[in-house]
Amino acid sequence: MIEIQHLKKSFGDKTILNDVNLVMQTGKCNLIIGSSGSGKTVLLKCIVGLFTPDEGKVLYDGQSMTELTVQEKKGLRQQIGMLFQGSALFDSMTVEQNIKFILDMFSDLGHKEKMKKVNEVLARVNMEGANKKFPAEISGGMKKRVGIARSIVLNPKYLFCDEPNSGLDPQTSLVIDKLIQDITTEFNITTVVVTHDMNSVMEIGDNIFYMYQGHKQWEGSNKDIIHSKDEKLNEFIFASDFLQDAKQMRMMDAEQSKKEGNTAVRQ
């Protein structure tokens, strides 16, 4: 479980996060949603320790990230897996080397065992056979899958995903969403996903936190979100959900054809 207490972060005069309080549950996909500039990526970077918060605490199973020593922080980070927006794979390494790198750095396993582990995680994300390919030779969706494989190779307790569906087509997005959800339940880990993709929200959003102007505006599940009365949240959902537009257009078309049908009957 990850708990965020009274988190504040500013850059110069600009306050990005203002008194954010969240509880992210284990074994569930915790989604942070919000429009661009709402502070969700800064929040994620504060949680993983890439930014130091001005005030407040980030507790990993009760342990405060900010109060840990350098060595303790390193230990905690080895329990964290992260999928970056651009995948952040190492360009000069093959897919296999990208994953094996973490094992080389942190595990005492022999070469054969390491390779077995690498092949296992690649199979888990349906990327068998791509071992010798370089990141430049694979598609965006495949890069994301390799990114996921790399982040789960050390069996992390916490998985963070920053915009996992950005730049992907809806079908591939669905595959990535499903993968994240399956891994979360399979390994019983705390997953935090930053997204503004409403399809992901409806698909995997066990816990959803809607960020608005640096604070948490709304909290609930994917079942609650469509019935929410929160004005700001509704503005965000309807602005971003093209399905709502399509639905409205379909209704208008139906009304139009109904009218035309009535006119034809009168004539």
3-state helix, strand, coil in the chain (%, to 5): 45, 25, 30
- The CA distance from 73 to 76, in Å, is 5
| Stretch of residues binding another protein (CB under 8 A), selected from 89-97, 174-182, 203-211, 213-221 | 89-97
**Could you say which residues in the range 153-182 bind another protein, by CB under 8 A?**
160
Q: Name which position in 86, 129, 170, 261 contacts another protein (CB under 8 A).
A: 86
Q: Name which position in 90, 128, 185, 188 contacts another protein (CB under 8 A).
A: 90
| Stretch of residues binding another protein (CB under 8 A), selected from 23-31, 46-54, 182-190, 257-265 | 46-54
Q: Are 43 and 18 in contact (CB under 8 A)?
A: no
Q: Name which position in 4, 80, 127, 159 contacts another protein (CB under 8 A).
A: 80
Give Cα separations from 161 to 25, 82, 95, 195 (angstroms).
15, 6, 19, 8
Query: Minimum CB separation from another protein for residue 106, in Å?
Result: 7
Is the Cβ of residue 105 or residue 265 nearer to another protein in the bound state? 105
- Tokens (6 digits) for 131: 């071992």
Give Cα separations from 134 to 97, 138, 255 (angstroms).
9, 7, 53
Query: Minimum CB separation from another protein for residue 200, in Å?
Result: 20
Query: Minimum CB separation from another protein for residue 168, in Å?
Result: 17
Query: Minimum CB separation from another protein for residue 174, in Å?
Result: 24
> How many C-alpha atoms does 160 have within 13 Å on its Cβ side?
22
SS3 74: helix
In terms of Cα–Cα distance, which of 179, 174, 241, 236 is closest to 32? 236
| Stretch of residues binding another protein (CB under 8 A), selected from 16-24, 78-86, 209-217, 235-243 | 78-86
Contact residues toward another protein (CB under 8 A) are: 48-50, 70, 73-78, 80, 82, 84-86, 88-91, 102, 104-106, 160
